[in-house]
């Protein structure tokens, strides 16, 4: 008996990036949500900035010394632009600006929220940028803050002048008293000379320009709103939403405990993937498709029967980690595919608790049977697989038979060696009924069926359980699940007469086209 043929399905690309993209695209809702949020954010920003205008005034800050003296500037009169920037953005200047705009002092804090003061590098210029809902208000606000800053700086310079002058006048008064008390004319002359120097100094201080700066650029009413336009914000919102959508899809993929690709199935189970079944018929459609329909899913079943390596006979166990209709469906269609190859096939329903495959398969009435009774197992029935032929079914659920050690009576027949050349056993959910493998030594191989809801932990436990039983794990079947009700996935054709044995890949007497196996 040959081993399973290595299979690379459409998910088995060597390119890891492509595999990751497929996993992300499975969470299209999360990606669409991220794009929608980004678009809404861009539109909200566009609406918020649509009526916002900004105007700028610039002030050249000068020292409090003689504006024409560009060489001898005292250290105490040098300007700290960072300090002036903080003062310009402070509350005192805001109160002056509010009064200039004719608003109460309580509005000073609100005006500060619309102001931004900057200082260009290596310059003595303060830039006042004011934002408002109207162009004229923005221009008036920028000019008001520039004028308020200059008024505040003038008041600070005037206060410094008054302090200096008052101190010198105090010294002059003290020297005048010394002149009266001088003993000789020489001392009086020296005191008078010192008084004259102080008076000259007072005159120089009083003559200084205390304005502290000039407005070199007045605020102008802007013609367009500030910030990027609506189109740019919408594009930025879409770009940000796309990034957010990818991040949400990646989080959903990382937090999802279900196996999402054939690569994950192979890595978790530790066995090759024998086949990937495309979406099948609806829940109300017949369970058996091989011999009754045609399409990609039927071709996948035929290829799967060939890859199991049981074309020459043997016993195959088909199980799922948890309760799932896919295991019974795969087992029934594999039996039909083997029958289509001309093999004598018995399908064993090893689950006595379920409603049973007999209720879902097209059975041949007893009066229409042409096969001798001795060709059927005890209690067996015939299944009409359409153009694929017929095969025997050993029913499980609903037969009234009591299972032996929790294994159906039909499985006991397989273990006793009375089975036909090809026996397909639809087993119970392996993790819920691990004793299904009690007759594991009689199986030639096990196929595990995984669906869209199979979890990685369950699949790993299934592989370990099969490995401990000593039975050969042939591989896994990835089932994409059934389509929604009413979706036409497979083309219904009229069942034809039974065709004789052919291997998958050949053409039986005008019933099927040549089988082509997809390698990704």
Q: CA geometry: angle at 358 spanning 448 and 436, to 5°?
A: 35
Half-sphere exposure of 487 (CA within 13 A, CB side): 11
Query: Rounded to an integer, what distance in angstroms lies between the CA atom of residue 443 and that of residue 378?
Result: 20
8 Å CB contact between 349 and 392: no
Instruction: From 326, 274, 322, 330, select the one nearest 457 (Cα to Cα).
Output: 322
Distances (CA, A) of 57 to 126, 206, 379: 8, 30, 99
- Cα–Cα–Cα angle for 48, 53, 57, rounded to 5 degrees: 145
Query: Minimal CA–CA distance to 395: which of 406, 385, 383, 404?
Result: 383
The answer to whether the beta carbons of residues 322 and 458 sit under 8 Å apart is yes
Residue that the structure tokens 């990382």 belong to = 254
Question: Distance between CA 314 and CA 425 in Å, rounded?
Answer: 11
* Continuous H helices in 15-134: 16-25, 28-50, 81-88, 91-100, 108-112
- Return all residues near 297 (Cβ < 8 A) that are at least 6 apart: 277, 278, 279, 280, 281, 289, 489, 490
Has residue 370 got a pLDDT over 70?
no
**Residue 137 near residue 74 (C-beta atoms within 8 A):** no
Task: Tell me the average pLDDT of the chain.
Answer: 76
On the question of pLDDT at 518 being above 70, the answer is no
**Highest-scoring range by mean pLDDT, 3-12, 122-131, 506-515:** 122-131
The tokens describing 129, both together, are 């940028």
Q: Say what the pTM is.
A: 0.52
> Which distant-in-sequence residues (6+ apart) come within 8 Å of 54 by Cβ?
129, 130, 131, 138, 222, 226
Which carries the bigger pLDDT value, residue 215 or residue 506?
A: 215
Instruction: Please give the pLDDT value at position 351.
Output: 72
DSSP tag of 455: B
What does the angle CA 213 – CA 217 – CA 219 come to, to the nearest 5 degrees? 120
27-31, 269-273, 400-404: segment of lowest average pLDDT: 400-404
Instruction: Read off the pLDDT of each residue in 384-413 and give the average, rounded to a whole number.
Output: 61
Share of the chain above pLDDT 70, in %: 74
Are 222 and 55 within 8 A, CB to CB?
yes
Structure tokens, 338: 């083997």
Predicted confidence band of residue 127 (pLDDT cuts 50, 70, 90) = very high
Confidence of residue 375 (pLDDT cuts 50, 70, 90): low
Contact at 8 Å (CB) between 297 and 277? yes
Q: Which token pair is 145? A: 């803050």
Q: Provide the pLDDT for residue 128.
A: 94
């Amino acid at each position: 008996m040959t081993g399973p043929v290595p299979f690379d399905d459409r998910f088995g690309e060597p390119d890891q990036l492509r595999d990751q993209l497929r996993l992300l695209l499975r969470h299209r809702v999360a990606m669409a949500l991220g794009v929608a949020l980004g678009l809404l954010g861009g539109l909200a920003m566009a609406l918020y900035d649509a009526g916002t205008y900004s105007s700028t005034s610039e002030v050249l800050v000068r020292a409090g010394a003689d504006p024409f003296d560009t060489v001898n500037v005292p250290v105490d009169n040098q300007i700290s632009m960072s300090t002036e920037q903080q003062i310009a953005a402070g509350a005192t200047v805001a109160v002056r600006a509010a009064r200039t705009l004719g608003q109460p002092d309580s509005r000073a804090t609100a005006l500060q929220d619309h102001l931004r003061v900057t200082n260009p590098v290596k310059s003595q210029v303060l830039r006042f940028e004011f934002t408002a809902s109207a162009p004229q208000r923005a221009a008036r606000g920028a000019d008001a803050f520039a004028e308020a800053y200059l008024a505040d700086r003038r008041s600070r310079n005037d206060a410094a002048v008054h302090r200096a002058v008052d101190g010198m006048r105090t010294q002059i008064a003290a020297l005048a008293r010394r002149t009266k008390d001088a003993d000789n004319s020489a001392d009086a002359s020296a005191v008078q000379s010192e008084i004259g120097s102080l008076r000259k100094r007072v005159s120089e201080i009083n003559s200084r320009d205390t304005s502290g700066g000039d407005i070199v650029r007045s605020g102008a009413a802007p013609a367009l709103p500030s910030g990027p336009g609506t189109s740019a914000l919408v594009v930025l919102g879409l770009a940000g939403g796309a990034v957010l959508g990818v991040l949400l899809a990646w989080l959903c993929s990382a937090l999802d405990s279900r196996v999402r690709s054939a690569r994950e199935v192979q890595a978790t189970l530790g066995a090759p993937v024998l086949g990937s079944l495309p979406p099948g018929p609806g829940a109300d459609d017949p369970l058996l498709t091989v011999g009754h329909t045609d399409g990609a899913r039927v071709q996948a079943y035929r290829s799967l029967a060939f890859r199991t390596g049981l074309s020459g006979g043997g016993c195959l166990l088909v199980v799922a980690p948890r309760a799932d209709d896919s295991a019974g469906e795969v087992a029934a269609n594999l039996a039909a595919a083997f029958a289509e190859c001309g093999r004598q096939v018995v399908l064993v329903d090893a689950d006595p608790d379920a409603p049973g495959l007999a209720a879902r398969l097209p059975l041949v009435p007893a009066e229409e049977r042409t096969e001798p009774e001795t060709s059927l197992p005890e209690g067996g029935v015939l299944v009409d697989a359409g153009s694929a032929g017929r095969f025997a079914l050993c029913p499980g659920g609903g037969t009234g038979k009591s299972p032996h050690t929790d294994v159906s009576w039909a499985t006991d027949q397989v273990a006793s060696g009375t089975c036909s050349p090809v026996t397909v056993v639809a087993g119970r959910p392996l993790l819920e009924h691990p004793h299904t493998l009690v007759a594991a030594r009689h199986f030639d191989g096990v196929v595990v069926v995984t669906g869209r809801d199979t979890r990685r932990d369950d699949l790993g436990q299934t592989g370990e359980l099969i490995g401990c039983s000593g039975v050969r794990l042939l591989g896994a079947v990835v089932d994409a699940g059934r389509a929604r009700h009413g979706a036409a996935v497979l083309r219904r054709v009229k069942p034809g007469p039974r065709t004789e044995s052919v291997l998958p890949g050949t053409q039986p007497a005008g019933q099927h086209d040549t089988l082509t196996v997809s390698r990704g």
